[in-house]
Amino acid sequence: MTMHAQHSRISVVIPARNEAANLRHVLPELPSFVYEVILVDGHSTDDTIATARQQLPTIRVIEQVGKGKGDALRAGFAAATGDIIVMLDADGSADPHEIARFVEVLQAGNDFAKGSRYMKGGGSSDLTVLRSAGNYALSWLVNILYGTHYSDLCYGYNAFWKHCLDYVKIDSDGFEVETLINIRAQLAGLRIAEVPSFEHSRIYGESNLHVWRDGWRVLKTILREWKSSNRKVVVSEPGRLSPSRESVG
């Protein structure tokens, strides 16, 4: 491990709404090397905040003002003080033990570590046939339009160096936020590496994701960004990072 790697501070941002039952299982599994954990509470009506503080007394809690996952992540990113930011779902679908894998990929020289359920070593016990087909079609469209080689577009387990936020503006409020980030990271010329990840079924409760509604929002995001990228350069600051479409197995 390099000296730079040893001193990298890792912030984990967890958006949550009524996830008290799941946080009891997720928070204790976070690696000890994590520098800070930020819970963005989306107007929960259960004891999400109390449970989070009970399980992890050092957790930072931000009460979301707006609505939606994108809005929650934006608030969490703004509050993060670490060098590396990890996006982690509160429902138990993302394995906290995989954080080390994402961090390793970033420390190897990449800017953005993008989780993939379709790479060797990844998988899912939660994807339905409909969701998988939709994800495949949307991934194919993004790859055609933007010249990417993404194997998994609509997956929320990602990590990146905080400096990426200087290049990628996040102005989306819903579940389409992951797609927005993936597209703008490519347009910004960030060095992106896919990381195999296994998605588990949520432990308790029902997902707030609606396949048709949120799929349509993802599609509109893809087309809107394509139209916008043909009108102007999304990131025009000097010293842009060189693009890479590397996949890490």
User: In which residue are the tokens 């588990």 written?
Assistant: 200
pLDDT of amino acid 23: 97
DSSP-assigned states of every residue in 126-186: S--HHHHHHHHHHHHHHHHHH----S-SS---EEEEGGGGGT------STTHHHHHHHHHH
Given a contact cutoff of 8 angstroms between Cβ atoms, the answer to whether 165 and 63 are in contact is no
Distances (CA, A) of 54 to 18, 72, 249: 15, 22, 37
pLDDT of amino acid 210: 60
How does pLDDT run along the chain (249 residues), one tens digit per residue? 333 445 799 999 999 999 999 999 999 999 999 999 999 999 999 999 999 999 999 999 999 999 999 999 999 999 999 999 999 999 999 999 999 999 999 999 999 999 999 999 999 997 788 888 988 999 999 999 999 999 999 899 999 999 999 999 999 888 889 999 999 999 999 999 999 999 999 898 776 656 667 678 889 999 999 888 876 544 434 333 434 444 444
Q: What residue spans of 86-128 are helical by DSSP H? A: 99-107
- Total of domains in the chain: 1
**Token pair for residue 146?**
């933007």
Distance CA 59, CA 35 (A): 10
pTM score of the predicted model: 0.87
Kind of pairing, strands 60-63 and 123-124? unpaired
Range of the domain at 171: 3-232+239-247
CATH of the domain at 75: 3.90.550.10
**Token pair for residue 120?**
């060797």
